[in-house]
Amino acid sequence: MRNLLLLPLLYFLSSCGQEPQENEMVVRETPEMLSYDTTAIDSFSAGATSVDVAAEIRRSSRLYQDSIQKAKDLKAQTELLEKAKKTEEARKQSDAEKLKEQNRTKKAEEGASPATN
C-alpha cells in the first residue's frame, strides 16, 4: 500500500521539478495560402441573406422608388406649368395683336369717314 502512495508522489515531484520548454516560434517568410474559402456565410442556405438585411433592402428600395416617383411627378407638374405659361403668353400676344388690328381699322375708318363728307 505504501508503494502505491509513493509512486504518484514521486511522479508528481519529478514532473513539477522539470523546467518548462521554450517553444521556438517558426516565422515563415511567405504566408501559407489557404486552400478553402474564408467568406463568412450568414445563413445555412446558399446565397441567403439575413432577414434584417433583406427587410432593409426592401425598405430602402421602396423609398428609392417613392423618391423617383415624386421626382417624376414634380417634373410633370413643372412641365405643365411651363406649358400653361407659354400658352398664356401666346394668348396674350394674339389678343394684343387683335387689339392693335382693331385699333388700326378704327383709325382707318375714322380717317376715311371725314374725308368723304
41-74, pLDDT tens digit by residue?
555 555 666 777 777 888 888 888 888 999 999 9
Supply the pLDDT for residue 71. Answer: 93
Q: Are 43 and 49 in contact (CB under 8 A)?
A: yes
| Residue 26 included in any domain | no
Least confidently predicted of 3-7, 39-43, 93-97, 101-105: 39-43
Supply the pLDDT for residue 106. Answer: 87
Domain that holds residue 80: 53-112
Q: Are 49 and 42 in contact (CB under 8 A)?
A: yes
Against a cut of 0.75, is the pTM above it? no
| Residue 35 included in any domain | no
| Residue 85 included in any domain | yes
Number of domains composing the chain: 1
| Residue 40 included in any domain | no
Supply the pLDDT for residue 99. Answer: 92
Beta strand segments in 41-99, E? none
Q: Are 108 and 115 in contact (CB under 8 A)?
A: no
49's CB contacts (< 8 A; 6+ apart) are 42, 43, 57
Pick the closest to residue 13 from 2, 5, 24, 21 (CA basis): 5
Supply the pLDDT for residue 70. Answer: 94
- Give 3-20 pLDDT, tens digit per residue: 788 888 888 777 766 666
Collapse the DSSP code of 92 into the 3-class scheme (helix H, G, I; strand E, B; otherwise coil) and give the result. helix
Least confidently predicted of 36-45, 63-72, 79-88, 105-114: 36-45
| Residue 27 included in any domain | no
| Residue 63 included in any domain | yes
- Which set of grid coordinates corresponds to residue 116? 368723304
| Residue 33 included in any domain | no
| Residue 59 included in any domain | yes
